[in-house]
């Protein structure tokens, strides 16, 4: 059976064809922004980096691994975060911890000898943070993650163990 094509497009009216109304509307919007910015000092942009936006406490930025008071990472290389990561961007290699009991009295038998996160693959879902039984891996409030090479996107243990105050 032959299909029937129905043309549902509406023809332009005369006033729409000359675009006058649309041009005036556009100019009024521009004028509104000019008055807001120039006279009323209401800006939609900020003078970054001198001024910084407040982000929500729930913002998920660059990862870090929490450390105890002996500067030992709380991670026990259990692989849970690596297993749960949907982007498969965590690579851990576990090793023996030199002392099975650290001075805090917390038993930590394993430690990561390698802990890499490929930040370019990460989708910052926070699953790794949720899965960690040791509250070791966390996503900080750090949002300045601009890089100039792919290598810099690889967060290694040295970077991850950086000291983070609060949410960083
Ligand atoms: S935030 Fe999500 S994607 Fe990124 S490392 Fe954690 S689990 Fe993987
Ligand atoms: S960061 Fe947490 S979940 Fe990941 S390996 Fe270490 S202890 Fe396990």
Segment 87-100 mean pLDDT: 88
More confident residue, 47 or 2: 47
| Nearest C-alpha neighbor of 59 from the set 149, 153, 168 | 168
Q: Is the CB of 65 under 6 A from ligand 1?
A: no
For residue 102, count other CB atoms closer than 10 A to its CB: 15
Domain count, the chain: 2
Residue 135 lies in a domain: yes
55 belongs to a structural domain? no
Q: Do residue 87 and residue 34 come from a single domain? A: no
Prediction pTM value: 0.75
| pLDDT tier, 31 (very low <50, low <70, confident <90, very high otherwise) | very high
Q: What is the CATH number of the domain that holds 91?
A: 3.30.70.3270
Q: Per residue in 139-151, pLDDT tens?
A: 999 999 999 999 9
Kindly state whether residue 167 falls inside one of the protein's structural domains: no
Q: Whose CA is nearest to atom 4 of ligand 2?
A: 81
Q: What does the pLDDT look like over 40-84, one tens digit per residue? A: 988 888 899 999 988 999 999 999 999 988 888 999 999 999 999
58 part of a folded domain: no
Q: Is the CB of 90 under 6 A from ligand 1?
A: yes
Mean of per-residue pLDDT scores for the chain: 90
> 99 lies in which domain range?
63-160
Distance (angstroms) between ligand 1 centre and the Cα of 28 equals: 45
Model confidence at 167, pLDDT cuts 50, 70, 90, reads confident
Go through 17-40 and write b for each residue having 16 or more CB atoms within 10 A of its CB, e for each that does not: eeeeeeeeeeeeeeeeeeeeeeee
Distance between CA atoms of residues 56 and 50, nearest Å: 19
Q: Is residue 49 part of a domain?
A: no
């Amino acid at each position: 059976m032959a299909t029937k094509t129905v043309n549902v497009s509406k023809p332009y009216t005369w006033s729409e064809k000359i675009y006058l109304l649309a041009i005036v509307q556009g100019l009024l919007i521009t004028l509104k922004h000019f008055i807001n910015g120039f006279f009323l000092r209401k800006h939609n942009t900020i003078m970054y980096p001198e001024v910084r936006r407040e982000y929500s406490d729930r913002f998920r930025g660059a990862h870090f691994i929490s450390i105890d008071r002996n500067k030992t990472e709380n991670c026990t290389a259990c692989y849970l975060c690596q297993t749960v990561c949907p982007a498969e961007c965590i690579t851990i290699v576990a090793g023996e911890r030199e002392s099975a009991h650290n001075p805090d009295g917390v038993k930590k038998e394993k430690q990561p000898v390698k802990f890499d996160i490929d930040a370019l693959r990460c989708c910052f879902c926070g699953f790794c943070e949720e899965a960690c039984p040791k509250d070791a891996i966390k996503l900080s409030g750090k949002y300045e993650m601009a890089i100039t090479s792919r290598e810099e996107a690889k967060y290694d243990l040295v970077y991850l163990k950086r000291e983070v105050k609060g949410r960083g």
